[in-house]
A and B are shown apart, each in its own frame.
Chain A
Amino acid sequence: MALRACSSAVARGSLQLPQSFPVLSALLAPAARRIGARAFCSLHSQAAINGEVVGDGGATLEVNPPPSQRATPLTPEKRPAFMDYQSTTPIDPRVVDAMMPLYTQMYGNPHSRSHVFGWEAEDLVEKAREQVADLIGAKSKEILFTSGATESNNLAIKGVAAYYGNKKKHIITTQIEHKCVLSSCRSLQEKGWDVTYLPVDQDGLISLSELEGAIRDDTALVSVMMVNNEIGVVQPVKGIGDLCRKKKIFFHTDAAQAHGKIPIDVDEMNIDLMSLSAHKIYGPKGVGAIYVRSKPRVRLVPVIDGGGQERGMRSGTLPAPIIVGFGKACQVAKEEMDNDRRHVERLAKRMEDGIIKALPDVTLNGSKLHRYHGNMNLSFAYVEGESLLMSLRGVAVSSGSACTSASLEPSYVLRAIGVDEELAHTSIRFGIGRFTTDEEVDECVKVVVQEVRRLREMSPLWELAQEEKEGGEKTAMVWT
């Protein structure tokens, strides 16, 4: 009965979750608008089966809460458009669907050997493991679950170093890696390891010949991230993998931003270790994985010791609900990858065209060709990033400006690609994803154009640049 009610509600264009799921209804409402209500039907009918439906059995699921409802943090209407998909992603309703039973009914510890609660949790975890492996062309047994990509990066770098430390003493990475990779390398340097931080060119790409030149006899590992989180450039992963395989050096890649967005095959790309993150691919926060090649075998010394879970490589009770969510997110990503790519590319083009047609002196940071289009880092000359962020009400984005970081230094990634300091302060990162709508992109373009123009009117640097263009001499600046 509930299913029929759901489908008629879908036909009417409105569905209403029963009172017993206030958080869930708020969570799912915006996503429902975008991807349709099939996921909700199954959710709703499950609730009905469990006798949790309150009120009339054919309840309507209200996608837009009535205006009379007071705006709260969970009310979709009052919140800005989320354009920061690199920082995290909204969870896909299908993933929540898959996780819910593990919170409500199947809440066992997957390591409990003696009862059905444990057995069913273990089965679900193993199924998720297969889904994670499947997305990257790996085997199930090569996937270890961790708390996220940061932990995976730590394990890959420190784990390899600790195991092969008596014969090897050198690691190669890049200057634009994520902080956790750079910090892990730095901690190894303190233990006597040599680390080469490869520079990148203006496009943000490393040079394969420079990499080859940096390889030594005692190099244990090359770690290069697949897609950069700040500027979206895609490194020549296949070339790196081939080179490392030839030289018999392990190749690790932080694929947190690439995973589920561009096709990855660990065998084709000769990847030996890979870090994955669930909350970057519309999965839950707090879980990730590390891929560890079995042939040729990569050995690691675990970073976390304990009960010996995950083949002794990563102890700790596996968080079954979020692992199941991660698996489902991977499965959905595999199905949706092509669709997502087209959606993101179309919207990225729409945004870029909208902004660049209306505003002069805007630069896209990073390679135009080798990029993931859902990540757009733009520099707006003569306008400081934090002031622009403050002005962009109604749009949630992030900045490469120093003012918004804890120190007063601008982004090291932008510096590495040669963006001069002045321009680095003007950078904003826009993130587009599966749930971004055309309206959000248009609103974002409108607000950005409006505010950049307003701030440029207030900017002495813009004024000076205009005067120069009109043929005036360059005014001498007093730098204090």
Chain B
Amino acid sequence: MAGAVRRYSENVHEHFQHPRNVGSFKKGEEHVGTAIVGKAACGDVIKLQVKIEEGVIKDAKFKTFGCGSAIASSSYATELIKGKTPEEAMQLKNTDIADYLKLPPVKIHCSLLAEDAVRHAIEDYQKKYPGVTEATIAADEGPTSHQQQMGAA
């Protein structure tokens, strides 16, 4: 069987051996956006979930059926988007992932799929919770929340 010797970068190996954020949120858990992208027949399926609270991606989880690059790409993607706002996360480009992981050309599509997964997960959240954006949350909660934070600190 033909097979090129695939020497992945250290970053890919790191994310493959110790993937971050593997798992799923509980079924029916609130404020979760889910996306399953890809095609099993092509050997790449990424399920990505985001939990958005207070206008920020509080947590992200993924499960991937795919090669080392696909797993690493999705793992790194969840790391990148945690703590960002949905708008910021939508700015994520596959090149951010591909450059960090130093993906070979034949594996670039894995990073594209991860980018797709992030996009669709956030869109899914926005479909389920329409109109809930950072701006409206800030307007709703206003000084009360700020005071609470100051109090806590």
Contact = CB atoms under 8 A, between A and B. Distances in A.
B41 A422 contact: yes
A387 B16 contact: yes
Contact of A398 (B3, B36, B37): B3
Nearest to A393: B17
A399 B67 CA distance: 12
Contacts of A400: 1
Given A458-B64, A460-B36, A463-B63, A425 B3 contact: no
Interface residues of A, number: 37
* Interface size range on B against A: 35 or more
A404 B63 contact: no
A403 B38 contact: no
B24 interface: yes
B2 A406 contact: yes
Interface in A398-438: 398-406, 408, 410-411, 420-422, 425, 429
Contacts of A480: 37-39, 113, 116, 120
Given A478-B36, A478-B37, A480-B37, A405 B1 contact: yes
Chief secondary structure at chain B's binding surface? mixed
A460 B65 contact: yes
Given A404-B3, A421-B41, A425-B40, A458 B68 contact: no
A421 B40 CA distance: 8
Contacts of A458: 19, 22, 63-64, 71
B150 to A, nearest CB: 41
A461 B64 CA distance: 8
- A386, A401, A422, most chain B CB atoms within 10 A: A386
A429 B8 CA distance: 22
B42 interface: yes
Chief secondary structure at chain A's binding surface? loop
A460 B47 contact: yes
A452 interface: no
B66 interface: yes
A390 interface: yes
A387 B67 contact: yes
Contacts of A404: 1, 3-4, 6
Interface of B: 1-4, 6, 8, 16, 19, 22, 24, 35-47, 63-68, 70-71, 106, 113, 116, 120
**What 5 A-B pairs come out closest when comparing CB atoms?**
A460-B47, A421-B41, A386-B67, A425-B43, A422-B40
20 contacts: A385-B67, A387-B16, A387-B68, A390-B16, A401-B43, A403-B67, A404-B1, A405-B1, A405-B2, A408-B43, A425-B42, A425-B43, A459-B63, A460-B36, A461-B40, A477-B36, A478-B36, A478-B37, A479-B37, A480-B120
